[in-house]
Amino acid sequence: MTASAPVSARSSKPLRLYGVAAHLPQAVRQGSLPARDERGFFRHGPSLVSSLTQWGGGDVRPSVVLAADDVEVPGLVSPEGVLLAVQCVPALCDRAYGAWHGQALRDIAAEKLAALLQDTDFAPPGGESARQFQARIGAWAEGADLHGTALFLARPAVVRAMAVHVLGGDSALTQKLDCAPGTLSLFTRQGGDWRLRMMGAPLGGEN
């Protein structure tokens, strides 16, 4: 299963893109939409990249590490102990909920909550619809100048949206995909064609 786009000099470069799903803030796990100032986190800390190299006996050495603005990224080090530069990428943030940021789901009217969860074109006041969020992640995937091996750190919804883009689906497909926090996914691109190689594989010591 692949998603194809017009092949440009940028998208024709071979790419192995690893995505690590962050753990969600406590309030989100207790049934609230994320507050604007809440950030996801990673339990592995600085040893995260070394943990990736040990996954399945593989050797993952990213030349580029990207992180969403809404996740807390510790100082990452390479297996050799070298501090890695992390590039912050606003486009990799979770869906924007506008005026509903921080709202407990139980406090949202039933019909509005159903629209939020089921209507891909519904957007909270000042926020994004599921379709707009999916389009943002897809636009980033096609526009990012990446090649070789790269790693991005983001919330689970972003990893799912990346998988939907790779599979050529729409935002409704997101509800059929599962990506737990603390898991690793792998997307590859060759000649402009994307493939989903792996999704939601638990990292050692995470689950």
Which amino acid makes up residue 65?
Answer: V
Range name among 14-18, 53-57, 103-107, 132-136 with the lowest pLDDT average: 53-57
How far apart CA 207 and CA 201 sit, in angstroms, is 10
Give the model confidence (pLDDT) of 86-138 as tens digits. 999 999 999 999 999 999 999 999 999 999 999 999 999 999 999 999 999 99
What tokens were used for 30?
Answer: 């207790």
pTM over 0.75: yes
> Residue 149, Cβ neighbours under 10 Å: how many?
16
Give residue 121's pLDDT.
Answer: 97
Domains in the chain (CATH in brackets) are 15-202 (3.40.50.1240)
C-alpha 57/C-alpha 72 separation (Å) is 27
Flag whether pLDDT at 76 surpasses 90.
no
Q: Please, what is the average pLDDT of the chain?
A: 88
What per-residue confidence (pLDDT) applies to 205?
52
- Written in H, E and C, the secondary structure of the chain is CCCECCCCCCCCCCEEEEEEECECCHHHHCCECCCCCCCEECCCHHHHHHHHHCHHHCCCCCCEEEECCCEECCCCECCCCCECCEEECHHHCCCCCHHHCCCEHHHCCHHHHHHHHHCCCCCCCCCCCHHHHHHHHHHHHHHCCCCEEEEEEECHHHHHHHHHHHHCCCHHHHHHCCCCCCEEEEEEEECCEEEEEEEEEECCCCC
- pLDDT score at 58: 59
Q: 19: pLDDT confidence band, cut at 50, 70 and 90?
A: very high
Q: What is the pLDDT of residue 48?
A: 81
